[in-house]
Amino acid sequence: MCLGVPAKVLRVWVEGGLKYAEVSMGGGSRTVIAPLEDIKPGDYVIVHAGIAISKVREEEVEETLKLWEELIEAATNP
């Protein structure tokens, strides 16, 4: 099973011919490869295996995180 994680783009830069982004996810930040053409700080992306694979709307991220919280709550408090 593959898992894509929503993340907020903090900054974007090009180095050595590759585009990178610093993203915020899960309370921390990390650097990912960001081959998407039109991302900018403030955008939301789905990150899989260290690569930003697609942009998503903020509303989608909020709904996804809400569902994860509900699943965790149900799993920890049966």
Q: Delimit the domains of the chain by residue range.
A: 5-76
Structure confidence at residue 1 as a pLDDT band (50, 70, 90): low
What letter does residue 57 receive in the DSSP assignment? -
Residue 10 to residue 31: CA distance in whole angstroms = 10
**In 3-state terms, what secondary structure has residue 14?**
strand
Residue 78 has pLDDT above 80, yes or no: no
CA angle 67, 71, 75 (to 5 degrees): 170
12-15 — which CB contacts under 8 Å span 24+ positions?
12/39, 12/40, 12/41
Topology at the third CATH level for domain 5-76: SH3 type barrels. (2.30.30)
What is the phi/psi pair of residue 23, to 5°?
A: -125, 155
12-64 confidence digits (pLDDT tens): 999 999 999 999 998 899 999 999 999 999 999 999 999 999 999 999 988 98
